[in-house]
Amino acid sequence: IKRIGVLTSGGDAPGMNAAIRAVVRTAIYHHIEVTGIYRGYEGLIENDLFVMDSRSVSSILTQGGTILKSARCPEFRTKEGRATAYKNLKDANIDALVTIGGDGTFTGAEVFSDEYDIPVMCIPGTIDNDLFGTDYTIGYDTANNTVIEAIDKIRDTAASHSRLFFVEVMGRDSGCIALNAGVAAGAEAILMPEKDTAIDELIQMLEEGMDKNKSSMIVIVAEGEKNGGAYHVAKRVKEKFDFFDTKVSILGHLQRGGSPSSFDRILATRMGYHAVKELLKGNSKSTIGFKGNQIVTTPLHVALHSDVFKLDEELLEISKVMSI
Ligand code: ATP
């Protein structure tokens, strides 16, 4: 391998920059050149490439978002789109690829490397923590900290006015943020896409909380179709449970931003370093993961086609005990 291309794709996540920096510096340390690809697969198809050196990743370790930008690219789902992408890679003398993103990004990498002879390594960067083959994805820890800080503030106002707050957090298909933030911020109830919580059951929990003289209550609702979102849940609860002043707070995109936590910086740095090392060892079509305090790799066909359900049932049980 003489030149590695690196891109970020799908939803951005804090720590992606730390991963880019680690890829660039590890490659250069091993006398391999690096090309940055803007806007994920879109930039690859549109030939939006630039040569990176050690200084081009100065001061980005602490920054949220991604200096390479990110995009969703429908064209990469087509054979023609991928053919253009491959031609651009070859023209730029890129002979291996590191992609940083979520499962869509990994799927794109798998399809591409099945079609063309190009080694790929995938780094999990998404706040949702919903990928197989790693205990933690880059950005998840920072997003949790952001959510907890926000809920702590909401708790202050909720307690001052005896209010019931419904706080909507990200996680359309994954309740990881909802569950972790719920435990860390002491929520009274947590609604997640993986679990059916009937409104009646939720109301019963809230009534019990009221009977125990709780001065405020917080229900965390993971966004998404499954429960209809925080406004919908609040409306349905209010129809039957009208003892508390009810408010809704949607945390939204602020959950994606901010300077990465220490954990995410180190995780991203380790993953970026190992992505390059694995390519140099001749490994390809794999994801980098962090399991049991060790960096591991998982073949893409395993990571993408395994059951990704990994909600921590014990933590869920603990959250219920803690909310009495
Ligand atoms: P997040 O988890 O944050 O949403 P993601 O990586 O899953 O991130 P997606 O938008 O699903 O985000 O995927 C990113 C890009 O990967 C897509 O815009 C598309 O270009 C490419 N991609 C996804 N699925 C495929 C596929 N089946 N074939 C080719 N390319 C794909």
Ligand 1 centre and the CA of 190: distance in Å? 28
Is 8 strand, coil or helix? strand
Residue pLDDT, tens place only, 174-230? 899 999 999 999 999 999 988 888 888 888 888 888 888 888 899 999 998 777 899
The verdict on whether 128 is a catalytic residue reads yes
Q: Which of 8, 66, 70, 77 for mutating ligand 1's site (highest number of atoms within 8 Å of CB)?
A: 77
The complex's ipTM? 0.96
Q: Which residue has its alpha carbon closest to ligand 1 atom 19?
A: 73
Phi, psi of 96 (to 5 degrees): -160, 155
Which two tokens mark 110?
Answer: 């798998």
Using CB distances shorter than 6 Å, the residues near ligand 1 are: 9-11, 41, 72-73, 76-77, 101-105, 107-108, 111, 126, 128
Which candidate, 15, 22, 97, places its Cα nearest to that of 54?
22
Model pTM score: 0.95
For 20-59, what is each residue's pLDDT tens digit? 999 999 999 999 999 999 999 999 999 999 999 999 999 9
Helix (H) or strand (E) holding 189: strand 189-191
Angstrom distance (rounded) from CA 179 to CA 187? 9
DSSP string of 229-282, one letter each residue = -HHHHHHHHHHH--SSEEEEEE-GGGGG-SPPPHHHHHHHHHHHHHHHHHHHTT
Tell me the CA–centroid distance for residue 279 and ligand 1, in Å.
22
What's the CA gap between 2 and 27, in Å, rounded? 9
Q: State the DSSP code for 56.
A: G
Could you tell me which residues are beta bridge partners of residue 167?
220, 249
- Cα(77) to centroid(ligand 1), Å: 9
Q: Ligand 1 pocket test: pick from 9, 46, 110, 304 the residue with the most ligand atoms within 8 Å of its Cβ.
A: 9
N- to C-terminal Cα distance for the chain? Answer: 58
CA distance 141 to 11: 16
